């Protein structure tokens, strides 16, 4: 057990690492810029899922639901950019990308077939048109799939998305309430590095609708963005930092940030991977933002693989089949050809598919490597011999054997968010929602290490608040990650995983002693009372942060501990906080407004916008700029809902 670290004073920014931090990086001038713009037809309407490519490079993007696109890291210099889409003539524009700058290119595509359509658009067209056999047994699927043919159990006609019933499913989120520090001094939870909620919220807003409140998981929105936390350099796999400032939506409260940053492994130090792509090719995937986008996502991942990595591909529809036996990452042409041949149709036997994928991973298990199944689906496991409970037990069993599960969600109208999040959690993996090729590139290229390579597992956080200085507190988000206080020391209790280069952020709203009282959850005691140790009254500590984690292949947890000192000069205004904390507070405020949270206080769209704009910073990938645009969209949509229509009353 590690010895407690000494308490340190909290200056302008409290920042403590559990290992010696590396020297500050040398500033390097950017060598790339951004290209962004829109794709529209002759009538000015958005063209969705147009493909934008930069000639002479592998850079590409798909236009989103409002016709917008972003190419975030394009080498500076003269470029030729092409836009194409099935059913339209392609268009080409020329421009100059300046280092650190943004080039805007807006395309107009005329109706008419382009004979030079890119391969993926052609595959998507064939997937819609190809008749499917009525019956096929599993052995036939395996044999034909290995030869490059993907079949399904039956042919099913699926209506256009606009005609479909919306069957998306989200677990109810009951927001964490304020707890008294006297009777509930301990707050315990599992970390969460998923960010699916953010890209899903973005999808709703880009389609011109506010998201369902239960689709908004605050911690996933906050954790979507990279932050400048100190990196780990000692024996621990991550560093810890904290910071506090006045809470923007409750100025007499304090906002406390806990940040974890895992070590970043160089690509040549990453262990070899034994990957199984498990791809849903059922009929519900027969839409442009599903299987064709899945193919693009996996194509991006394949480009990052090394010869020592191995990839197999399993598909499932009415039955499960092995499309590609384990193949070296150096044989990219063979892997890409197998991905390109995929077509959709049939019902969904998710249980059979996941069993086959796990069996393939087990057969080629690498005890020194990263063994992982990567599931891509819209989440509809509606046919199969396995119940949800049986599937969860299977995932947990294979997790204990060393094979983890990453889950990727795609598409609209059929997303089973609640089920997919649960599967990833039980499988020690990451859950992401892919709404564009840009998001696929973020998950599989820019954050490859964090997505695929675990550096610490079963990471738990327990915060003890000092009742002499804290009246009450509330953890923002993490509602489905809460643990009992006894779980913190229980190594049998599963918790979250931390990948290479991943950061984790947790925010607490703290009510200091002397601030106006808040409504708290009922925690009164009938037969006993709690008391404060004499040392607590004289301590300058606001709280103590404890963390437990295990090595990826370990079974015994290690303890890290640090005390957070209170500020003797009062609470600092949010404007004086670090750029990261100001931006995080904007994201948290945005999430509470989307949820219409009872704890939103004085939160407003304008305040969230002001905080985000003031904390945009370098923003090399453009994520913060995109967020600012989403806040503006949400404000417009919220105002339109709140504004009465002439002659009608708003309920």
- Identify the CATH number of the domain in which residue 274 sits: 3.40.50.410
DSSP string, 309-373: -EEEEEEESSSEEEEEEEEETT-HHHHHHHHHT----S--BHHHHHHHHHHHHHHT--TTSEEEE
454-489: per-residue pLDDT in tens? Answer: 889 999 999 999 999 999 999 999 999 999 999 999
Is position 163 within any domain? no
Whether 53 and 69 map to the same domain: the answer is yes
Least confident of 249-263, 442-456, 634-648: 634-648
Query: Per-residue pLDDT for 103 more than 70?
Result: yes
Q: What is the pLDDT of residue 642?
A: 62
Q: What pairs with residue 406 in β-bridges?
A: 374
pLDDT at 579: 96
If asked whether residues 257 and 277 sit together in one domain, one would say: no
Q: Distance between CA 611 and CA 573 in Å, rounded?
A: 12
Q: Does residue 118 sit in helix, strand or coil?
A: coil
Among 4-13, 100-109, 536-545, 580-589, top mean pLDDT goes to 580-589
Calculated CA dihedral for residues 60, 61, 62, 66, nearest 10 degrees = -140
Distance CA 167, CA 411 (A): 12
The Cα–Cα gap between 72 and 54 comes to 12
Domain boundary among 441, 472, 507: 441
Report the distance separating Cα 151 and Cα 318, nearest Å: 9
Range of the domain at 65: 32-117
- Judge whether 138 lies within some domain: no
Residue spans of alpha helices (H) in 341-490: 350-363, 388-401, 417-426, 437-441, 448-452
Q: Percentage of the chain surpassing pLDDT 70?
A: 79
Question: Is 166 exposed, middle or buried (CB count within 10 Å of its CB: 0-12, 13-18, 19+)?
Answer: exposed
Q: Is residue 157 assigned to a domain?
A: no
| Domain presence at residue 280 | yes
Rounded to 5 degrees, what are φ and ψ at 463? Answer: -110, 130
Which residue, 409, 441, 473, sits at the end of a domain?
Answer: 441
CATH code of the domain covering residue 618 = 2.60.40.1230
Q: Which of 24-28, 272-276, 353-357, 539-543 has the lowest mean pLDDT?
A: 24-28
Looking at the structure, tell me whether residues 365 and 242 fall in a common domain: no
Among 418, 441, 464, where does a domain finish? 441
pLDDT at residue number 319? 66
H/E element, 274: strand 273-280
Angle at 370 between CA 368 and CA 374, to 5 degrees: 155
Q: Are residues 229 and 330 in the same domain?
A: no
* 481 shares its domain with 332: no
Residue 161 within any structural domain of the chain:
no
Which residues are 139's β-sheet partners? none
For the ranges 202-216, 247-261, 310-324, which has the lowest average pLDDT?
310-324
Regarding whether 603 and 479 lie in a shared domain, the answer is yes
461 touches 258 (CB < 8 A): yes
Same domain, 381 and 498: no
Asked, for residue 12, whether it belongs to a domain, the answer is: no
Does residue 144 have a pLDDT over 70? no
More confident residue, 589 or 121: 589
% of the chain with per-residue pLDDT over 90? 51
Q: What is the pLDDT of residue 218?
A: 97
Mean pLDDT of the chain: 81
Geometric angle at alpha carbon 226, from 604 and 4, rounded to 5°? 100
Provide the CATH number for the domain around residue 57: 2.60.40.1120
- The pTM assigned to this predicted structure is 0.74
**In angstroms, rounded to a whole number, what is the distance separating the alpha carbons of residues 153 and 172?**
35
Q: Which DSSP category does 588 fall into?
A: H
Domain check: are 474 and 618 in the same one? yes
Whole-angstrom distance, CA of residue 576 vs CA of residue 612: 14
* Domain total of the chain: 3
Residue 10 pLDDT > 80: no
Same domain for 472 and 404: no
CA distance 37 to 208: 18
What average pLDDT does range 566-592 have in this prediction? 87
Helix orientation angle between 579-595 and 623-642, rounded to the nearest 10 degrees: 30
620 with 541, same domain: the answer is yes
According to DSSP, the residues that pair with 61 across neighbouring strands are 52
The whole-number average pLDDT for the span 211-231 is 94
By 3-state DSSP, what share of the chain in percent is helix, strand and coil, each rounded to 5?
Answer: 30, 25, 45
Nearest C-alpha neighbor of 124 from the set 295, 332, 300: 295
Residue-wise pLDDT tens digits, 322-355: 999 999 999 999 999 999 999 887 655 566 788 8
Specify the higher pLDDT residue, 580 or 530: 580
Q: Which helix (H) or strand (E) holds 630?
A: helix 623-642
Say if residue 290 is in the same domain as residue 311.
yes
Q: Which of 165-179, 281-295, 372-386, 604-618 has the lowest mean pLDDT?
A: 372-386
14 domain residue, yes or no? no
Three-state DSSP class for 223?
coil
CB atoms within 10 A of CB 12: 12
Give the list of residues 6+ apart from residue 629 with CB closer than 8 angstroms, or none.
none
Query: Does residue 259 sit in the same domain as residue 287?
Result: no
**Average confidence (pLDDT) over 363-371:** 93
- Any domain includes 630: yes
Q: What's the confidence (pLDDT) of residue 89?
A: 85
Region 544-551: mean pLDDT is 95
pLDDT digits (tens, 9 = 90+) for 385-422: 456 778 888 899 999 999 999 999 998 888 888 888 98
Which residues are CB-neighbours of 487 under 8 A, at least 6 positions away?
A: 188, 460, 493
């Amino acid at each position: 057990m590690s010895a407690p670290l000494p308490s340190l004073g909290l200056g302008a920014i409290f920042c403590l690492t559990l290992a010696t931090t590396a020297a500050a990086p040398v500033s390097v001038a950017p060598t790339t810029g951004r290209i962004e713009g829109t794709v529209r037809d002759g009538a000015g309407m958005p063209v969705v899922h147009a493909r934008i490519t930069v000639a002479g490079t592998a850079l590409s993007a798909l236009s989103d639901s409002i016709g917008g696109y972003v190419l975030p890291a394009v080498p500076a210099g003269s470029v030729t950019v092409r836009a194409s889409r099935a059913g339209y003539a392609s268009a080409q524009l020329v421009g100059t990308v300046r280092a650190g700058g943004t080039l805007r290119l807006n395309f107009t595509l005329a109706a008419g077939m382009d004979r030079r359509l890119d391969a993926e658009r052609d595959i998507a067209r064939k997937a819609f048109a190809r008749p499917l056999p009525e019956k096929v047994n599993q052995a036939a699927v395996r044999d034909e799939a290995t030869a490059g043919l993907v079949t399904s159990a039956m042919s099913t006609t699926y209506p256009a998305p606009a005609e479909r019933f919306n069957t998306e499913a989200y677990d109810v989120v009951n927001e964490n309430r304020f707890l008294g520090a006297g009777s509930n001094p301990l707050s315990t939870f599992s970390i969460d590095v998923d960010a699916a909620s953010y890209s899903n919220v973005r999808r709703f807003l880009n389609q011109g609708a506010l998201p369902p409140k239960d689709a908004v998981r605050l911690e996933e929105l906050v954790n979507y963005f990279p932050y400048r936390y100190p990196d780990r350099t000692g024996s621990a796999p991550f560093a810890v930092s904290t910071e506090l400032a006045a809470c923007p939506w409750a100025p007499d409260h304090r906002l406390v940030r806990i940040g974890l940053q895992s070590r970043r492994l160089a690509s040549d130090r990453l262990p070899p991977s034994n990957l199984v792509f498990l791809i849903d090719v059922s009929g519900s995937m027969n839409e442009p933002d599903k299987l064709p986008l899945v193919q693009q996502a996996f194509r991006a991942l394949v480009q990052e693989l090394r010869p020592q990595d191995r990839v197999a591909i399993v598909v499932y529809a009415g039955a499960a089949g092995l499309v590609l036996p384990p193949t070296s990452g150096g044989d990219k042409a063979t892997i890409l050809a197998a991905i390109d041949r995929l077509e959709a149709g049939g019902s969904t036997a998710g249980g059979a598919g996941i069993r086959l994928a796990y069996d393939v991973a087990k057969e080629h298990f690498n005890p020194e490597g990263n063994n992982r199944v990567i599931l891509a689906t819209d989440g509809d496991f509606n046919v199969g011999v396995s119940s949800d409970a049986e599937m969860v037990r299977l995932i947990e069993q294979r997790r204990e054997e060393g094979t983890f599960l990453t889950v990727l969600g795609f598409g609209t109208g059929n997303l089973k968010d609640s089920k997919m999040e649960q599967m990833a959690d039980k499988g020690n993996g990451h859950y992401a929602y892919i709404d564009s090729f840009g998001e696929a590139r973020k998950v599989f290229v820019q954050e490859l290490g964090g997505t695929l390579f675990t550096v610490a597992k079963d990471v738990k956080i327990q915060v003890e608040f000092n009742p002499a200085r804290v009246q009450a507190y509330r953890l923002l988000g993490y509602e489905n990650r809460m643990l009992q206080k006894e779980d913190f020391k229980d190594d049998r209790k599963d918790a979250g995983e931390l990948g290479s280069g991943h950061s984790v952020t947790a925010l607490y709203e703290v009510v200091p002693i002397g601030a106006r009282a808040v409504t708290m959850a009922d925690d009164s005691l009938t037969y006993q009372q709690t008391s404060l140790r004499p040392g607590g009254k004289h301590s300058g500590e606001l709280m103590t942060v404890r963390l437990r984690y295990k090595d990826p292949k370990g079974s015994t947890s290690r303890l890290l501990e640090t005390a957070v000192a209170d500020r003797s000069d009062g609470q600092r205004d949010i404007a004086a906080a670090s750029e990261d904390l100001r931006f995080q507070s904007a994201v948290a405020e945005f999430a509470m407004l989307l949820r219409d949270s009872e704890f939103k206080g004085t939160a407003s769209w304008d305040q969230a916008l002001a905080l985000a704009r003031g904390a945009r910073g370098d923003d090399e990938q453009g994520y913060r700029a995109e967020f600012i645009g989403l806040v503006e969209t949400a404000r417009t949509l919220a105002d339109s809902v709140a504004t009465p229509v002439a002659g009608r009353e708003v309920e």
